Amino acid sequence: MPATLAAVSAGARPATAQQYMVEDAAVVEYRACQIEAWHGERESWMEPGCQPLRNLELTVGAGFLADGDGARETGS
């Protein structure tokens, strides 16, 4: 067991992840809209949401991620 632990520890690298994006779990009021946005060091997100019908909330999100060269990729 100590040899396995030493072998695994030798290959361990520090975590270099972005911060977590946390949904606030709030529901938009009936016939209302909202925009949630977040901007970090390398990532940006924007998520508009509306509730056109009772018990139905529609949300579409877009995320932007900058690579090491400063270029930005888009995802949704």
* 30 within some domain: yes
**Residue 57 structural domain:** 26-76
State residue 70's pLDDT score.
59
pLDDT tens-digit series, residues 4-62: 777 777 776 766 665 666 666 778 899 999 998 888 888 888 999 999 999 999 999 99
State residue 21's pLDDT score.
60
* 49 within some domain: yes
Has this prediction a pTM greater than 0.75? no
* 74 within some domain: yes
The CA-atom distances, in angstroms, between 25 and each of 19, 22, 28, 57, 65 are: 18, 9, 10, 12, 24
Between CA 43 and CA 53, with CA 48 as vertex, the angle to 5 degrees is 150
Q: Which of 67, 44, 48 is nearest to 57 (CA)?
A: 48
Q: What is the count of structural domains for the chain?
A: 1
Question: What is the separation of C-alpha 58 from the centre of its chain, rounded to a whole number of angstroms?
Answer: 18
* 9 within some domain: no
What letter represents residue 8's amino acid?
V
Q: What is the CATH number of the domain that holds 58?
A: 2.20.25
* 56 within some domain: yes
